[in-house]
Amino acid sequence: MILTLASLKGGTGKTVLSLHLAHAIALAKRRVILIDADPQGSASNWAAARETASPFVVVGMARDTLHRDLPELLKNFEHCVIDTPPRVSALARSAILAADLVICPVQPSSFDVWAVGETVNLIQEAQQFKPEIKAAFCINRRISKTTIGREVVEALGDYPFPVLKTAISQRVAFAESSAGYTVMEIAASSAAADEIKALSKDVLKLLGMKSW
C-alpha cells in the first residue's frame, strides 16, 4: 500500500498525520517506510530528533520522479506513507501519482474548505492517468462540540471523495509528539492514540485490506 498525504494548503497537519499513520501501521508488525517528499524536511527532522531508533524507516526523497523511483525502493517494505509539500508542483503531482490512496487532511475551518478544491483538482488530474487511485478527506484538528466541526463534513459533500469516519481532534499530545516521538509512544493509552489507530483501520478498510 502506498498512502500519500496531500493538501496544497499549508498547516493542515500532513506531516503529523503521516508520522502517526506510519507508526500505527508499523505497530501491526508491518514493514513501513515514510517518504519525506517535502523539501522542508520536517519528517526527516523528526526522525533525527529521536534518541532511539524510529519504529519505521524515514527517507528524504523530494524528487519530481517519485512515482517512477519508488517501486525499486519499496521491494523491502509492505507499506509506504508519503508526506508532501503544501503547494502545486511537479513533486506533489508525482507523489499523488505514486499513491494507491490519497488522504487530504482538512481542518474544520471555512478557509480549509474553500482551499480544498485545488487539491481535489490535482488528484482528479492524476486519476486521468491512473484511474485506480482512491482519495478521501480526513478531518484533522477537530475541536469537539463546535458547529464548524459538524458543518465541515457537510461542506465536503460537494466534492467527489468520501470523508473518513474517524476525525482527529486537536490535542496537546500531538503538539508534544513533534519532538521526535508519536502519541503511541508518549501517551499510548490516550484518546489521541486511539484516534490514530482507528484512522489507520479506516484507511485499510477503504483499500479493501484486512485491519489488525
Q: Residue 38: name the closest of 69, 84, 6, 4 by CA.
A: 84
> What number does CATH give the domain 2-206?
3.40.50.300
Q: Residue 106: name the closest of 151, 58, 72 by CA.
A: 151
Are the C-beta atoms of residues 153 and 107 closer than 8 Å to each other? no
Q: Residue 14: name the closest of 100, 110, 119, 151 by CA.
A: 119
Q: Cα separation of 210 and 43, whole Å?
A: 27
> Can you give the residue ranges of every domain in the chain?
2-206
> At residue 67, what is the residue type?
H
Residue carrying the nine cell digits 482551499: 115
Name the pTM for this structure.
Answer: 0.94
Residues 135-154, buried b or exposed e (16+ Cβ, 10 A)? bbbbbbbbeeeeeebeebee
C-alpha cell of residue 103: 488522504
Phi, psi of 34 (to 5 degrees): -105, 125
Residues 56-88, buried b or exposed e (16+ Cβ, 10 A)? bbbebbbbeebbeebeeebeebebbbbbbbbee
Reading the chain (212 residues) residue by residue, the pLDDT tens digits are 999 999 998 889 999 999 999 999 999 889 999 999 999 999 999 999 999 999 999 999 999 999 999 999 999 999 999 999 988 789 999 999 999 999 999 998 888 888 899 999 999 999 999 999 999 999 999 887 666 767 888 889 999 999 999 999 999 899 888 789 999 999 999 999 999 999 999 999 998 887 65
